[in-house]
Each structure stands twice: as C-alpha cells, then as structure tokens.
Amino acid sequence: MSEAATTGSGADIGPLGHSFAREVRRRRELRGLSQSDLASQLRDRYGLKFHQATIDRVEKAIRPCRLDEVYAIETAGRDRSASKGG
C-alpha cells in the first residue's frame, strides 16, 4: 500500500475514493448546501451520525464511506434540488 493512498487514519481511500470525495463537494455546492446542511439532512432523514466535520473529512478523502452513506449523500442533495425546482 502506498503512502499516497493511505490517509492519516489508516484507511485506504484509493483513486475512486478521491474521485468520490471531489464529487461530493461539487454536488453539494451545486445544490447550494453547506457542509452543515448536508450533515443535518443525513442525520434527520437517514439517522446517520454525520456532522459538519464528517462531511469535511469525506470531501478531503480522509474518511471512507459505506455504501448506505454514499446512497444517502446522493439522495439527500438530490431530494432538495428536486423540491426546489418543482
């Protein structure tokens, strides 16, 4: 395992994880959400124990995400965008 692929927490994020991290930030910003807004939606809608600092670590590719968290991150922002547009 290379040093570049390993974070300070010991988690191996890898290239796909880094791409995901960039995409989380890009989509969050496109949807007009702050890190705190997204974390709050993830707590309220999905019962995930996310806080602003958790979103920050995800976006910096420090914290890996489970599949259920990936789904929740994507649908939380998408649901808000859809309700604003229609």
What is the average pLDDT across 39-43? 97
Between helix 67-85 and helix 14-30 the angle, nearest 10°, is: 20
**pLDDT the model gives residue 82:** 46
Close Cβ partners of 51 (under 8 Å, ≥ 6 residues apart): 39
* % of the chain exceeding 90 in pLDDT: 72
* pLDDT band (50, 70, 90) for residue 50: very high
**pLDDT the model gives residue 18:** 96
What is the average pLDDT across 35-48? 97
The residue ranking higher by pLDDT, 8 or 45, is: 45
Which amino acid does the sequence have at 45?
R
Judge residue 43's burial from the number of C-beta atoms within 10 Å of its C-beta, 0-12 exposed, 13-18 middle, 19 or more buried: middle
The structure tokens 């709050």 sit at: 40
**pLDDT the model gives residue 13:** 86
Domains by residue range for the chain, with CATH: 14-77 (1.10.260)
